[in-house]
Chain A
Amino acid sequence: SKLFSGSQVQFAAPPNSLVSFFDASLPGTLPVLNRRCVEAAVMTGLALNCSINKKSLFDRKHYFYADLPAGYQITQQRVPIAVNGSLSYSLCIDNKMSQMVTKTVRIKQIQLEQDSGKSLHDDVRSQTLVDLNRAGVGLMEVVMEPDMCCGEEAAAAVRELQLILQTLGSSQAVMAEGQLRVDANVSVHHPGEPYGVRTEVKNINSIRFLAKAVDYEIERQIEELESGGTILNETRAFDSKLGCTVPMRDKEGKQDYRFMPEPNLPPLILYNARSLPANMNHQQVVNIDWIHERLPDLPSVKRAKLVEQYGILPEHSFTLLNEAGLTEFFEDVIKQTQMKPKKVIGWILNDLLSYLKQHSLTVKESPVSSFLLADLLNRLEKKEISSTAAKQVFAELWKGEGKTPLEIVKEKKLQLIQDQEDLERICQAVIDGQENEVMAIKSGNRKVLNKLIGLVQRETQGRSNPVLVKQLLEKKLSE
Chain B
Amino acid sequence: MMGNTMSLVSAALKEGRVAPTELCQRCLSLIKSTKFLNAYITVAEETALKQAEESEKRYKRGQPLGVLDGIPIAVKDNFNTAGIETTCASNMLKGYISPYNATVVQKLLDQGAVLLGKTNLDEFAMGSGSTDGVFGPVRNPWSYSRQYKEKSVPKSHSEDKDSNWVITGGSSGGSAAAVSSFTCFAALGSDTGGSTRNPAAHCGVVGLKPTYGLISRHGLIPLVNSMDVPGILTRCVDDAAVVLGSLAGHDPKDSTTIQDNFKPFELSDLTDVSKLSIGIPKEYHAPGLSSEILALWSKAADLFKNAGAKVIEVSLPHTRYSIVCYHVLCTAEVASNMARFDGLEYGHRSDMNKSTESMYAATRREGFNDVVRGRILSGNYFLLKQNYENYFIKAQKVRRLIANDFVKVFGSGVDILLTPTTLSDAIPYMEFIKEDNRTRSAQDDILTQAANMAGLPAINVPTALSERGLPVGLQFIGRSFQEKQLLTVAKWFEKQVKFPMIQLDEVKRHDHGVFQHQKSASFLEHRT
Chain A residues packing against B (C-beta within 8 Å):
21, 24-33, 60, 62, 64-66, 69-72, 128, 130, 256, 258-260, 263-266, 284
Contacts and interface: CB of A to CB of B under 8 A. Distances in A.
Interface in B349-398: 356-357, 360, 380, 383-385, 388, 392
B333 interface: yes
A265 B217 CA distance: 13
A26 B345 contact: yes
Contacts of A65: 356
A231 to B, nearest CB: 24
Given A27-B93, A30-B217, A266 B346 contact: no
B501 to A, nearest CB: 35
B252 interface: yes
B383 A72 contact: no
B336 A259 contact: no
Contacts of A24: 345-346
A66 B355 CA distance: 11
Contacts of B254: 30, 264
The A contact surface, by secondary structure, is: loop
A128 B356 contact: yes
A25 B340 CA distance: 7
Given A27-B93, A130-B344, A32 B253 contact: yes
A21 B100 contact: yes
Contact of A260 (B102, B356, B357, B392): B392
A33 B219 CA distance: 17
Nearest 4 Cβ contacts at the A-B interface: A71-B339, A258-B383, A263-B225, A263-B226
Interface string B155-176: 0000000000000000000000
Contacts of B344: 66, 69, 130
B118 interface: no
Given A25-B345, A258-B335, A258-B380, A30 B218 contact: yes
B473 interface: no
A472 B221 CA distance: 94
Nearest to A262: B225
Nearest to B99: A21
Interface in B93-140: 93, 98-100, 102
B139 to A, nearest CB: 27
Contact of A30 (B255, B259, B357): B255
B344 to A, nearest CB: 6
28 contacts: A21-B100, A26-B98, A26-B99, A27-B93, A27-B222, A28-B102, A28-B219, A30-B253, A30-B254, A31-B255, A32-B252, A32-B253, A60-B336, A62-B336, A64-B357, A64-B360, A65-B356, A71-B339, A72-B336, A256-B384, A258-B380, A260-B332, A260-B392, A263-B333, A264-B255, A265-B255, A266-B255, A266-B256
User: How big is chain B's contact interface, by range?
Assistant: 35 or more
A453 B226 CA distance: 89
B342 A71 contact: yes
Interface in B185-219: 217-219
B255 A33 contact: yes
A269 to B, nearest CB: 12
A30 B217 CA distance: 8
Which of B99, B225, B339, B385 lies at the interface centre, i.e. has the most chain A CB atoms within 10 A of its CB? B339
B80 interface: yes
Contact of B225 (A21, A62, A264): A264
Which of B100, B217, B255, B360 lies at the interface centre, i.e. has the most chain A CB atoms within 10 A of its CB? B255
Nearest to A71: B339
B360 A27 contact: no
A256 B385 contact: yes
Contacts of B232: none
Contacts of B360: 64
Nearest to A121: B356
Contacts of B86: 27
Contacts of B336: 60, 62, 71-72, 258, 260
A259 B333 contact: no
Nearest to B220: A28
Contacts of A66: 344, 356
